[in-house]
Amino acid sequence: MFKRIDHVEIVTADADRAERFYTEILGFKLKARDHIERSSLGVPMNLAYLELGGTTVELIAYENAEVAPAPAKEHVGYRMIALEVEDMDKAAAYLRGKGVELVWGPRVAPTYARAEICDPEGNHIELRQWFK
Domain that holds residue 17: 1-65
Query: What is the number of domains present in the chain?
Result: 2
Sort 7 into a burial class: Cβ within 10 Å, 0-12 / 13-18 / 19+.
middle
Are 104 and 59 contained in the same domain? no
5-27: average pLDDT: 89
- Same domain as 57, residue 92: no
Query: pLDDT (tens digit, 9 = 90+) per residue, 31-69?
Result: 999 888 866 666 788 889 999 998 889 888 877 655 443
Q: What is the mean pLDDT of residues 17-33?
A: 95
Helix (H) or strand (E) holding 106: strand 104-108
**Same domain? 52 vs 95:** no
Does the pTM surpass 0.75? The reply is: no
CATH number of the structural domain spanning residue 104: 3.10.180.10
In this predicted structure, what is the pLDDT of residue 6?
Answer: 75
- Compute how many other C-beta atoms are within 10 angstroms of the C-beta atom of residue 20: 12
In a domain, 73, yes or no: no
pLDDT for residue 77 is more than 50: no
Q: What is the CA radius of gyration of the chain?
A: 16
What local confidence, expressed as pLDDT, does residue 92 receive?
Answer: 95
CA distance 132 to 51: 26
Q: Give tens-digit pLDDT for 82-130.
A: 889 999 999 999 999 999 999 999 999 888 898 999 999 888 888 889 8
Instruction: Decide if 35 contacts 45 (C-beta within 8 A).
Output: yes
- Is residue 117 classed as helix, strand or coil in its secondary structure? strand
